[in-house]
Amino acid sequence: MIRSQWFSPLLAGLLAVPAALAIELNIDDPNSLKDVAKQAATDMIAYYNGRASSAIPGKMDGTWWEGGAMFMTLIQYWYWTGDSQFNGIVQDGMYFQKGNDDYFPSNYSQYLGNDDQVFWGLAAMTAAEVNFPEQDSEPSWLALAQGVFNTQVPRWDSSSCRGGMRWQIWPWQDGYTTKNAISNGGLFQLAARLARFTSNHTYSDWAERIWDWSATTPLLSESGWTIADTTSCASQCTDHGDLQWSYNYGTYISGAAYMYNHTDGAEKWKDGINGLWGTSQQFFPTLGFDGDGGNTMAEISCELGENCDRNQSCFKAFFSTWLAFMTTLVPFTAEQVMAKLRTSAQGAAKQCTGGISGQHCGRRWYQSTWDGTQGLEQQMSALGIFSASLVDDQQAPLTSTTGGTSKSNPGAGTANSDNDVVRLRAIHTSDQAGAGIVTVMFVAGWVLAVTWMIRGG
C-alpha cells in the first residue's frame, strides 16, 4: 500500500472548539447509533470531496487502495442504517476504477500491490453479499470480486517459500521480496466468501490452500495463534516482522468465519476462530477510558506512541466490521464480540469532538478527550465501529441461495470471458512453470513480466 500522509485542509488554529458540539451517543438506542454513523460518514465524504484528485472517482490523493476501503465501509453503513445518500458516490467510484472487471486499472497497475487490489475485491464482495444496488450497464458486484480472484491466483508464487502471495506484484517494487499477512489473508478471505456465496468448490479449495500455506509460515501460527505482518522470500519465509495490526487478524478470522459457516461448523475453522479471537484481545488493552476494563479497541502498534500513518488510522474500520459480520456467521461469538464493539463505539464517540465542527474523530478511543488528530481515515474507523454496533438486528451476509441477486461470472477479469474458474485448478500443477517464467523475465526484460502477470500466467 502507498504510504503517504493525509493533508488536512483545516488550519491548526481552528481545531479547538467547545465540547458542547461533541457527538452524543446512546449505545442502547439504534437511532442514536445511526445518527452518529451518519455524522461520521458525512465528515468522511467531505474529506473525499475536498481532495485534489476529485475529478477522478474513487482515487484518493497519494493512494489508491483506500478508495476501495472507504467504499466498503460506506456499503456496510448503507446496509446497517438504510441511509442511501452516499450510494451514488460509491457506485461512481467502484465502477470507474473497475479496470478490466478486475480492479487492476491501467493508470495505476504499475505500482499496485496485491493487498491494494484485494481491498477493492473485498468491497465488491461486500456489495454482492448485501444486495447493494447495481447498474444494469455495469458488471455485477460478484463478477468484479471474481475478477480480482481470477487475476490474483495466477500470482501464487512457489519460486520461494513453497507458495504464497508476494506483497507487491512487480519486481521493481519495494516489498516484492516480501510475503505478507494482508495480501495472503485478504485473498484467503475473498476466496472463503466466494465459496460461501457461490458454493463453487474451487474457491473453497483455494481458501484451504492459502490458510494451510500460511500456517507453514510465521504469517499464521496455529500453535500460538499469532499473525506476523511479514516474512521474506530470502529466508524461505522463516523470519518474521512482528508488528501487530488489527486488520491482519481481521482478514484471517473473518475468512475462517465464512469457512465455518460454509462447512456447517468444521472443527478446523472453529479452532481458528477461537484461537485468533483469543489473540485479538491484544487490540482491546486495559488502558481504558473511565475504567472500561479492556473492552475498547486500539491499534496497539502505533496509537500508544502516537505515530500512526494514514493507512494504520483506518485499520480499525475493517477489524470492526469484519468482526460484526462474524457474529452473524458464527453466533457463538456474538456476545463477547458485541460487548467489545459497543464499548469501542462509546469510546469513539468521545473522540469525535475535534475540528471546526467539533465532531471530527480522533484515533485513541480509549482516551476520553479528543487526541488532536483528524482525517478521512479517522472518520472511516469511527464510521466502521458505529455501523458495526448495529449488527444485532441484521441477518448474515447473503448467498446465491439465500437471496443474493448479484450474478456470477466465473471468467471475469480474464482475457477469455468464456473461461470457467475451474480451469484455475491447473495452477496446482503449474506453479513451477510460473516460477520459470519469473526467472526468465529477469533475463528477457520486464515487458514479458508485465504481459504474463496481467494475463494471469
Below-70 pLDDT ranges, the chain? 1-22, 288-293, 393, 415-457
Contact 348/382 with Cβ under 8 angstroms? yes
Stretch (H or E) spanning 88? helix 87-96
Separation CA 346–CA 350 (nearest Å): 7
Burial class (CB in 10 A: 0-12, 13-18, 19+), 151: buried
Query: How many whole angstroms separate alpha carbon 348 and alpha carbon 373?
Result: 13
For residue 137, the model assigns a pLDDT of 94
Q: Which residues contact 217 (CB under 8 A, 6 or more apart)?
A: 161, 164, 179, 228, 231, 237, 238
Rg of the chain, C-alpha, whole Å: 21
- Check: CB of residue 409 under 8 Å from CB of residue 146: yes
Please identify which residue in the block is written with the cell numbers 456465496. Answer: 197
- C-alpha grid cell, residue 256: 475462517
Q: Is the pTM of this model over 0.75?
A: yes
Q: Could you tell me if 346 and 27 are in contact, meaning their C-beta atoms sit under 8 angstroms apart?
A: yes
Residue 10 is predicted with a pLDDT of 36
User: What was the pLDDT predicted at 415?
Assistant: 61
Q: H-helix or E-strand containing 193?
A: helix 181-198
Please spell the DSSP secondary structure of 285-352, one letter per residue.
-TT-STT--S-S---TTTTTTT---TTGGGHHHHHHHHHHHHHHHSGGGHHHHHHHHHHHHHHHHHH-
Q: How far is CA 79 from CA 35, 128, 387, 434, in A?
A: 15, 11, 9, 41
Instruction: Name the CATH architecture for the domain at 25-454.
Output: Alpha/alpha barrel (1.50)
Q: Which amino acid is at 393?
A: D
CA distances, 147 to each of 287, 373, 394 (Å): 43, 37, 28
Q: Give per-residue pLDDT as tens, 334-349.
A: 999 999 999 999 999 9
pLDDT single digits (tens) 362-379: 999 999 899 999 999 999
